[in-house]
Amino acid sequence: MNARLEMRSGVTVSRGGHGPLLEYVGVTMSYGGLLAVKDVSFAVERGEILCIIGPNGAGKTTLLRMTSGLLRPSGGQIWFEGLRIDAMPAYRIAALGSTQVFQDIQLFANMTVLDNVMAGAHVWTDGGLLGTALRLGPAVDEERRIRRAAVDQLALLGLSGVLEEYPSELSWGEQKLVGLARALLCRPTLLLLDEPYGGLDTADIERLSTTLRTLKSEGMTILMVEHLTDIVMDVADRVVVLHYGEKLAEGAPDTIREDERVIATYLGE
Amino acid sequence: MSVISTTKSRVASAYRLLRVPRPALVLLAVVAVLPLVGNPYVLSVLINIGLYAIVAMGLVLLTGLAGQVSLGQGVFYGTGAYASALLCLRLGLSPWLAMPIAAAASGLLAVPIGRAILRLRGIIVAGVTLTVNMVFYYLTISVSDLTGGATGLVQIPRLPYPKVLPYTTFVFYVTWLLLIVALILSCNIAASRVGRALKAVNLLGGGSEDTAQVLGMDVMHYKVLAFVVAAVFAGVAGSTYAHYTSVIEPHTFNVQTSVLVSIMVIVGGVTSPWGAIVGAALIVGLTEFLREVAPIILGGPTGAYELVAYGVVLVISLLFLPAGLCSLPARIEQWRKERRI
Amino acid sequence: MEVSTVLQSLISGLTLGCIYAALGLGLFVVYGVTRVLNLAQGEFVMLGGMLTVSFCSMGVPLIGAILLAVFVTVLSGAFLYLFIIRPARGASGSTLAFLTVGFAFAIEGITLLVWGWEYRSLTNFLGSSSIHLWGATIFGQAPWVVGMTVLMVVGLFFFFGRTMVGKALRACADEPLGARSVGISIERMALLSFVMAAGLGAIAGATITPLTMTAYNVGIPLTIKGLLAAFLGGLHRAEGVILGGLLVGLAEALSAGLMPTGYHDAIALAILLAVFLARPRGLLPSRGAAE
C-alpha cells in the first residue's frame, strides 16, 4: 500500500516505511482561550535526532504529550508510522513503537529498579492473568527473558549495582538512567525525551550524548525537548524552534544558530 | 549428561514451574495436621479467619498492588453467597458446581461496576464502593421473593463430603486449601508482568498512570482486572460461607464486612498477600477473644468492646506501622542496621 | 398520586435535605482546610443527640443540655485532630480517612458501652408535635431543623467571608503555602476546622433527634449520606454541598413516598450514585482554580 497523501505542510507522507517516521500537520492546542501550540507543522525523519528548543512555556512539553497520546490536540493531525495517532489512546500509540521519558522521570516508587526497567517490556510481551497467576511455561519463560533483557540493559548503562534499590534511594543522575533503561526496554522506534539533560553534571552530559548517538547509530529515532541550547546543538541532527507555541524556525543546528529571527527572540537572550 | 542429571533437571524445572513459595508449603503442612489437635471451636474460628483472609487477599491485589481503595468487597462476598445458595435451592445444582458459577457471577458483576467507578481517583472510589455496597444491601432486603428478604435463606445444602470427617473439619480443609491457592495465585501475580502493570497504575503507592500509558499499559483494563479478581476471591469466600453455615442473611454482607476486611489488610500489611492472612487472624482472633472474655470480665453489651478494639487497632496500626504487621521483620532489620552504625 | 403525598414527601425531603446539607458542610469544612475526609462526621452528630438526651434526662434545661453536648462533642473533635490526625501528618489521604474511621469505630463502641442499644429521643423543642399544611403533616421539629440549617449556612458564609479567622481558614484551604508565609498557623487552623465540624455536627444532632431518634449506630448511615451530599456538591463549593444535601434528602423522601416500599432505599441511592458518576466533579461548576 503506497497511497501518497498530500499534507498541509507540503510534505507528502506515504504508508509503508518510506517518508518521515513522525509528522505534525497544523497541530494546535488551546486551553480555554489560551493557545499553547499554534499550527505547528514539521516532520521527523527516520534515524535522526531532532531537538525542539524554545523558552519555557513555548509549548514543547505539550507537543510531546500530544505525541504520546496523553493529550488530544484541539486541531491538526499527528502521523506516526503512516497512521494517524492524534485520537489514539496512549497505550496504543506505545504499542506502535513510541515511548517517552518525562522531565521528572516518574519512576514507579513502589518497585525496585529492576522491576521498573522490566515494566518497560510490557509493550512487546503478552503474559496475561492466567499465565502469570498459574506460572504456566510460556509465561515463566517470557518473564526470564524480560529479566535478562532488563539486567543487560542496566549493565550497559552501568547500573548493575542498584538493581534491588528503590527509586527513592537513587541519585538524580541514576534515576535518569533508570528511566532511560526502562524506556529502552520498550524497544521503541521513536524515543521521546523531555529535557533529558536537566540537572546533569558535565560528565553525565557527555555520557548521555554518547548514549544517544549510539542509539541513533542502531537505528532509533529520537525526538527531544530541551532548553539547554549548547548541548542540543552538539547532539542534534536537526532543530525546531518553538516560540509561544509557534514554529519559529527549522533546520540544521548551524542554520538555526545563524537564523536572525531565532537570534532576535531566543538565542540572543 | 547422564540420565540421572537430565531427570533431576527435569524435576527441578517442573518444580520451578509449579513453584510454590516455601512458606506456603509450610502452611499447607500445618493446615493438614491441625484438625488432629484442634477442637471444633478452634476450627470454626479458623474457618472464619480463612474466609475473611480470602476476601482480604483480593483487597491486597486491588488496593495493595493497584492502589484502588475499595469498601465494596461485601457486595461480591454477598453475591457469591446468595448466587451459590440460590443455584442450589432453586435449580437443584450441586454445591460443588454452584460455587465456581457463583464466583464467576461475582466476577462478571464486577466488570460493569468497575468500569463505571474506576474512572475516579483516590478516596472517592472508597466512598462510591461503600454506596454501591449499601445499594446491594437494600436490594437484597427488598427483593425478598428471590433472596428471602431480611430473614435470608435457610437450609442451604452442604458441600457433599466424605462422611469420615466431621463437616466442620471438612470445611476447614476446603477453606484453607482455597486460601492457600489464593495466596499462591496472588504471590505469582504480584511478581509478574501483570503485577508490575498493577503497581504501575497505583497512584497511591507511587505509580504513575502517564508512564504506564506510554509503556503500553491500558490503565483502565488493569484497574478493572484487579477489581474483578478481588470480586472473584470474595465470591469464592461467600459461596463457601453459604454452604458452611447453611443460613445467610443480608446483614452479613453489609458495610461492616467491607470495612472490617479493609481493617484486616491495613493491620496485616496491604501490599503483602501474607498480610491478608495475618490481618484476618488478628482481627478475628481479637473479636473472638473480646466476645467471649470481655463481657464476663468487664460487663457491658456484646459488640461494644469489639468496636472500640477495631478502632484502636486501626489507629495504632496506621500511626505506627502503616505498612502493616508484615513489614515488622523488615522494620526490625532496618532498626538493627541503624543501631550498628 | 395525591398532592398531599407529594407535598408531604417534598417537605420531608427538604427537612432531611437540611440534615444532610449540615453533615456535608461539616465534611466540607474539614476537607477544605486539611484535605482529610472526616468519616467520623456522623459520629459528631450522633454524640450531639445522645449527649443532649442524657443531659436533659439529668434535669438540665434544653439550652444548657445542648450547649454541654456541643462542648463535649467539640472536645472529641479536638481529640481526633490532636491525637490521631496531627501525628499522621504527611500521610496519604486514604490513610487519614481510615484514621477517622478508626476514631468513628471507637466512638461507636464507647457510646454503646455507655448508653446501650436503645434508641433515645427528645421532645420537640417547642413541644408541638405536628403542623398541618394543605393536607400534609409536618413534624413539629421540622421548622427547627430547617431553621438550624439556614442559620448554619448564613453563619458559615458570614464567618468565612467577613471574619479574620474565617478568612484565615479559607486561605489555608486555597493556598496553604501562602497562608503559612503570612504567619497563619496551619495546625491551629486545622484544629479549628475539626472543632467547628464537631460543633456543627453536635448542633445538628441535637436538632434532629426529636425527629429521627438517635442510637449508637446512626453515625455511619449519616456519614454516608453526608458523603454523598459532599461528593455531589463537589467538595470545593459550599453551595454545591448544600445543594447536594438537599438532593439526597429529596431523593430519599420522594422515593419513600412515591415508590413501592422496600425498593426505595436502593433506588434512591442508585439514582444519586448515577448522578454523581455522570458529573464526578460536582453539580456546580468549579469556581476557577483547578482541584
Q: Name the band, by pLDDT with cuts 50, 70 and 90, for residue A15.
A: very low
C39-58 per-position pLDDT tens digit: 999 999 999 999 999 988 88
A110 with B213: Cβ contact below 8 A: no
Q: Span B250-272, mean pLDDT?
A: 90
pLDDT at residue B311 in the model: 95
Touching partners of B (3+ C-beta pairs < 8 Å): A, C
Q: Label residue B9 by pLDDT band (50, 70, 90).
A: low
**What pLDDT is stored for residue B150 in this prediction?**
80
CA distance to A159, B72, C173, C241, per residue, from C181 (Å): 42, 42, 14, 30
Nearest CB among B139, B301, B310 relative to C112 is that of B301
Q: Tens digits of per-residue pLDDT, C170-206?
A: 777 777 777 777 777 888 888 999 999 999 999 999 8
pLDDT band at B3 (very low <50, low <70, confident <90, very high): low
Which residue segment(s) compose the domain that C99 sits in?
Answer: 3-278
- B245 vs A141: CA distance, rounded Å: 44
Q: Is C230 domain-assigned?
A: yes
- The confidence score (pLDDT) of residue B80 equals 94
pLDDT bin (cut points 50, 70, 90) of residue B54 is very high
B305 min Cα distance to partner chain A (Å): 36
Question: How many helical (H) and strand (E) elements, i.e. helices and strands, does chain B have?
Answer: 15, 0
Beta bridge partners of A52: A225, A240
At C237, the pLDDT band (50, 70, 90 cuts) reads confident
C-alpha grid cell for residue A184?
Answer: 529502552
C-alpha cell at C269: 441511592
Q: Is residue C234 part of a domain?
A: yes
pLDDT exceeds cutoff 80 at B326:
yes
Mean pLDDT lowest for which of B17-21, B248-252, B255-259, C281-285?
B17-21
Closest of A28, A3, A188 to residue A82, by C-alpha: A3
Instruction: Enter the DSSP assignment of A58.
Output: S
Question: How far is it, in rounded angstroms, from Cα C53 to Cα C120?
Answer: 7
Beta carbons of B86 and B92 less than 8 angstroms apart: no
- Our count of domains for chain C comes to 1
| Predicted pLDDT of residue A6 | 32
How far apart are the C-alpha atoms of B233 and B251, rounded to whole Å?
Answer: 20
Cell of B48: 472464619
* Beta bridge mates, A166: none
Contact between chains at B301 and C117 (C-beta distance less than 8 A): yes
In terms of Cα–Cα distance, which of B287, B225, B229 is closest to B45? B287
Please compute the mean of the pLDDT values over residues B27-42 and round it to a whole number.
Answer: 81
Domains and their CATH numbers in chain A: 47-70+89-267 (3.40.50.300)
Nearest to B210 by CA among C103, A105, C236: A105
Distance CA B164, CA A120 (A): 53
Q: Which range is most confident: A15-29, A199-213, B216-230? A: B216-230
Check pLDDT > 70 for residue A12.
no
Please tell me the predicted confidence (pLDDT) of residue B341: 65
Q: Cβ contacts (< 8 Å) between C262 and chain B: which residues?
A: 141-142, 144
Q: Which residue among B127, B134, B141 sits closest to C231, beta carbon to beta carbon? A: B127
Residue type, A61: T
CA of C111 vs chain B CAs: smallest distance (Å): 8
Element (H, E) at A51: strand A49-53
More confident residue, C184 or C242: C242
pLDDT tens per residue, range C100-112: 999 999 999 999 8
Neighbours of B36 (CB within 10 A): 7
A269 contact partners, CB below 8 Å, separation of at least 6: A55
Question: What value, to the nearest 5°, has the Cα angle with vertex B114 and ends B109 and B118?
Answer: 170
Could you tell me the three cell numbers for C29? 469544612
Q: Domain of C65: which CATH number?
A: 1.10.3470
What's residue B334's pLDDT?
83
What is the model's pLDDT at position A14? 36
Determine the pLDDT at residue C286: 62
pLDDT of residue C136: 61
Q: List, in sequence order, every residue forming a beta bridge with C137; answer none if it has no partner.
A: C132
Q: Which residues contact residue A244 at a Cβ distance below 8 angstroms, ignoring those fewer than 6 apart?
A: A38, A57, A58, A59
Q: What is the DSSP string of C167-185?
A: HHHHHHHH-HHHHHHTT--
pLDDT above 50: residue A234: yes
Residue C73 has pLDDT above 50, yes or no: yes
Collapsing DSSP states into helix, strand and coil, what is residue A248? strand
What is the phi/psi pair of residue B220, to 5°? Answer: -60, -40
Of residues C146 and C125, more confidently modeled = C146
**Are A166 and A74 a contacting pair, CB within 8 Å?**
no
Contact B122, C37 (CB under 8 A): no
Please say if the pLDDT value at position A2 is more than 90: no
Is position C207 within any domain?
Answer: yes
Per-residue confidence (pLDDT) for residue B12, from 0 to 100: 57
Locate cell 433527634: which residue? Answer: C209
Query: Whole-angstrom Cα distance, residue A4 to residue A18?
Result: 10
Tell me how crowded residue B91 is: count the other CB atoms within 10 A of its CB: 10
CA angle A72–B203–C185, rounded 5-degree value: 105
CB distance C243 to C22 below 8 Å: no
Measured between beta carbons, the chain C residues lying within 8 angstroms of B120 are 280
| Residues B101, B219: Cα–Cα separation, whole Å | 28
What's the pLDDT at A66? 94
Out of B194, B205, B214, whose CB is closest to A94?
B214
How buried is residue B149: exposed, middle or buried, by Cβ count under 10 Å (0-12/13-18/19+)? middle
Side-chain-side CA neighbours of C262 within 13 Å: the count stands at 12
Distance CA C171, CA A9 (A): 50
Supply the pLDDT for residue B2.
61
User: How many interchain CB pairs under 8 A, B with C?
Assistant: 123
> What are the chain B neighbours of C88 within 8 Å (beta carbons)?
318-319
The C-alpha of A242 sits at a distance from chain B's nearest C-alpha, in angstroms, of: 24
Which strands, in side-by-side order, build the sheet including A83-84? A34-44, A22-31, A75-80, A83-84
Look at residue B142 in the predicted model and tell me its pLDDT.
84
Residue-by-residue DSSP string for A180-238: HHHHHTT--SEEEEESTTTT--HHHHHHHHHHHHHHHHTT-EEEEEES-HHHHHHH-SE
Rounded mean pLDDT of B233-260?
Answer: 91
Q: What's the mean per-residue pLDDT of chain A?
A: 86
pLDDT-based confidence at A3, cuts 50/70/90? very low
Residue B244 has pLDDT above 50, yes or no: yes
Nearest to C109 among B120, B128, B311 (CB): B311
Please compute Rg for chain B using Cα positions.
Answer: 21
Task: Tell me what pLDDT residue A69 has.
Answer: 94
Residue B5: per-residue pLDDT: 61
Identify whether the C-beta of residue C257 lies closer than 8 Å to the C-beta of residue C271: no
**Which one has a higher pLDDT value, B8 or B22?**
B22
Cell of residue B98, nine digits: 454452584
Question: Stretch B212-229: mean pLDDT, rounded?
Answer: 95
State the pLDDT at residue B19: 60
Within a domain: C12: yes
Distance CA C164, CA C167 (A): 5
Chains C/A: 3 or more C-beta pairs closer than 8 A?
no
Does B164 touch chain C if contact means CB atoms closer than 8 Å? no
Evaluate if residue B160 carries a pLDDT over 90.
no
What's the rounded Cα separation, in Å, for the pair C221 and C227?
Answer: 10
The C-alpha atoms of residue B157 and residue B165 are separated, in whole angstroms, by 17
State yes or no: pLDDT of C288 exceeds 50: no
Q: Which residue has the higher pLDDT, C152 or A152?
A: A152
**Closest C-alpha among C77, C32, C36 to residue C179:** C32
Residue B242 above 90 pLDDT?
A: yes
> What pLDDT score does B77 carry?
95
pLDDT tens-place string over residues C135-176? 566 666 777 788 888 888 888 888 887 787 777 777 777 777
Quick: pLDDT tens for C13-30.
Answer: 888 899 899 999 999 889
Rg, chain C, Cα only: 19
- Is B218 within 8 Å of B115 (Cβ atoms)? no
